[in-house]
Amino acid sequence: METVENVVIVGAACAGYTSAIYTARAFLKPLVIVGDIDGGQLSQTSDVENFPGFPEGIQGPELMQKFRAQAERFGARIETGSVTKVDFRTRPFSLTIDEERTVRANSVIIATGASARWLNLPGETRLKGKGVSACATCDGFFFRGKELAVVGGGDSAMEEATFLTRFASKVTIIHRRAEFRATRVMVERAKANPKIAFLFDRVVDEVLGEARVDGLRLRHAKTGEVSTFPCQGLFLGLGHEPNTAVFRGQIDLDEAGFVVCPKWSWTSIEGVFAAGDVRDPRYKQAVSAAGSGCEAAIDCERWLAEHHAG
């Protein structure tokens, strides 16, 4: 007889592991599919100082290890692999792992998160967490009194730069075009801030520094002239992309690709729930992701009790 899981959780970061903790404590024996990066973005983050319960701060990978250990303690089963195909049109649902095997499930919690857009430049990966960041809310506190650069021309760049002025002595927004594509109110707010400067028609070619960021190599988009821009930190204000490609055509997504939840954590398909950054284009915080993981788990548990009791 084919085994059908009570619940499969796709994704293993704050939202996914919190969902696993709650569903495991409800004796649902969840199966967690980890994906490419166990722990998501936090597993690649150094100091985490804004997650409740850790007054001295904690390293991102260590925090994610604690999440995983807690989920496993209650009986969550964790499998490494990528979901490459889903079918939510038939019940039980089916999920294909690494294009090799199929898992059947009565319910699914999508917690695949969202990935920051990066420039993929020399020095960028090497200096992540050492002056390069894609989250001002997470890391701005560490740059008090520093001169920073923000790359981008949309609302995300304006928001990052404006927030960073709470800590930095100066923030320069670097944009590859002559005009911003951000909304007018966001641009005006940035221009009115005395700590924010602007560099137009500039492309970042390289992130400079050995142990930490100490500058950028810029190229003029029109003339090709190369220059060095000194700074102590680079923030990517290019927005985030939800990791939802595999679910396209199976559930409703908004124009940006985020999961649409018309009611609570419910997606457009009954029995399929969403949690964390994959449904959240606004807050993108570890603590809010964990909270929504709790919500999805409770919604899932109650739905299963009503539709699959016994």
Look at residue 309 and tell me whether its pLDDT is greater than 80: no
**pLDDT tens-digit map of 121-160:** 989 989 998 999 988 888 899 999 999 999 999 988 998 9
Strand 170-174 versus strand 147-151 pairing type: parallel
135 catalytic per annotation: yes
pTM for this predicted structure: 0.80
The DSSP bridge partners found for residue 8 are: 31, 108
SS3 235: strand
User: pLDDT digit string (tens) for 33-77?
Assistant: 998 777 677 776 667 888 999 999 998 889 999 999 999 999 999
Query: How far apart are alpha carbons 185 and 189 in whole angstroms?
Result: 6
Q: Are 164 and 144 in contact (CB under 8 A)?
A: no
Q: How much is the mean pLDDT over the chain? A: 93
The one catalytic residue in 14, 138, 261, 300 is 138
Residue 139 is among the residues annotated as catalytic for this protein: yes
Residue 240 pLDDT > 90, yes or no? Answer: no
Q: Is 94 helix (H, G, I), strand (E, B) or coil?
A: strand
174-233 residue pLDDT tens? 999 999 988 899 999 999 999 999 999 999 999 999 999 999 999 999 999 999 999 999
- pLDDT (0 to 100) of residue 46: 64
Closest CA to 70 of 17, 107, 117, 137: 17
Question: Which residue in the list 139, 277, 280, 299 is annotated as catalytic?
Answer: 139
Rounded Cα distance, 218 and 238, in Å: 17
Would you call 294 a catalytic residue per the annotation? Answer: no
Q: Are 297 and 28 in contact (CB under 8 A)?
A: no
- Closest alpha carbon to 280 in 268, 295, 270, 292: 292
Per-residue pLDDT, 44: 65
Task: Choose the catalytic residue: 14, 135, 231, 261.
Answer: 135
